[in-house]
Amino acid sequence: MLEYDIAEYSQINPDLYRRELRKLQAEFLKLQRWVIQEKKKIAIVFEGRDTAGKTGSISVLSKYLIPEHVRLVKLGIPTKRESQHWFSRYEKHMPNVGEIVFFDRSWYTRALTEITMNYCSERQYKYFMKNVLSWEKEFSKENIEIVKIYLSVKKDIQKKRFEKRKNSPLIFWKFSENDLKVADRWDAFTFYKNQMFATTSSEKSPWVVINANTKMVASLNSLRYILEKFEYPEKNIPKPKKWSKGMNIYNLKINGVKFENLSYDQFKVLSSFSDE
């Protein structure tokens, strides 16, 4: 398991974020063209607690990719048969030649939410933990590369995001009472998360932990990590810039109201409430 965090991004504001993102998205398109031309296969797994920003990060990363060569896999509640044949549930969704596949939650749901909430048995959990790396290794024989990203969010940030969802006229549907049940088992989830990192992080496909307390920063770090991992033609990842804390150059919107010319400290306090 490793942590990936570009320090310069901690001081970024929405305007600078958009400029940085555009450069990295253009670079990601270069990577995709290489995947298509060289018939590569890449599976990118996003895991994390509710509200960590998995769906949003995938949306940002995939926005300008060529649609015919990228897929999103976001499976719902498993059937009884799927629960009993867990690996088979995901095998059919792995990338084809020249394709990038994003998993918005993955087979690792068994190691996190399923066992935390008793949706699977202890026997099923142990079987998964014992066999998942060998199962992934079989895909490496098919030249499928698996990238495993875990978005990490603090408890108080998760609570704020739940409240925002619950009270929003636009995203209230993202909130469910079951989300709160999972959040109530925070410590149990943490225990199983650490077990997952310790047991299922391999040299070839380690777990990469990215701080997701600020969604903009999480998206940039996720994108930059993926770009740095692969070698593709005309690779030219821009170096992250240093942004001054002292300048009043920070802007954001909260419930549609724009706040301009904020200092870095003001921006940092208000950013968790931002519409971005």
Same domain, 275 and 195: no
- DSSP symbols for 56-117: HHHHHHHTTS-GGGEEEE---SPPHHHHHTHHHHHHTTS--TTEEEEEES-GGGGGTHHHHT
Same domain, 132 and 268: no
Same domain, 125 and 227: yes
Residue 225 lies in a domain: yes
Domain assignment of residue 253, given as a range: 248-276
* Separation between Cα atoms, residue 269 and residue 78, nearest integer Å: 40
Name the residue with tokens 């897929």. 71
Same domain, 271 and 217: no
Residue 244 pLDDT? 56
Residue 100 lies in a domain: yes
Same domain, 75 and 136: yes
* Separation between Cα atoms, residue 224 and residue 164, nearest integer Å: 28
Residue 44 lies in a domain: yes
Query: Domain tally for the chain?
Result: 2
Same domain, 261 and 162: no
Residue 98 pLDDT? 98
Residue 113 pLDDT? 95
Same domain, 269 and 148: no
Residue 179 pLDDT? 78
Residue 276 pLDDT? 55
Residue 75 tokens read as 């499976």
Same domain, 170 and 123: yes
Q: Residue 119 gets which letter from DSSP?
A: S
Q: Residue 167 gets which letter from DSSP?
A: H
Q: What is the pLDDT along the chain (276 residues), one digit of tens a residue?
A: 889 988 889 888 888 899 999 999 999 999 999 999 999 999 999 999 999 999 999 999 999 999 999 999 999 999 999 999 999 999 999 999 999 999 999 999 999 999 999 999 999 999 999 999 999 999 999 999 999 999 999 999 999 998 888 888 878 777 777 778 888 999 999 999 999 999 999 888 899 999 999 999 999 999 999 999 999 999 999 888 876 555 455 566 787 788 876 765 676 677 767 765
Residue 243 pLDDT? 67
Q: Kindly report the CATH number assigned to the domain that includes residue 40.
A: 3.40.50.300
Same domain, 176 and 257: no
Same domain, 209 and 253: no
Residue 177 pLDDT? 78
Same domain, 207 and 264: no
Residue 240 lies in a domain: no
Same domain, 86 and 7: yes
Residue 236 lies in a domain: no
Residue 239 lies in a domain: no
Residue 29 pLDDT? 98
Residue 12 lies in a domain: yes
Residue 263 pLDDT? 65
Residue 267 pLDDT? 64
C-beta neighbour count of 145 within 10 angstroms: 18
Residue 96 lies in a domain: yes
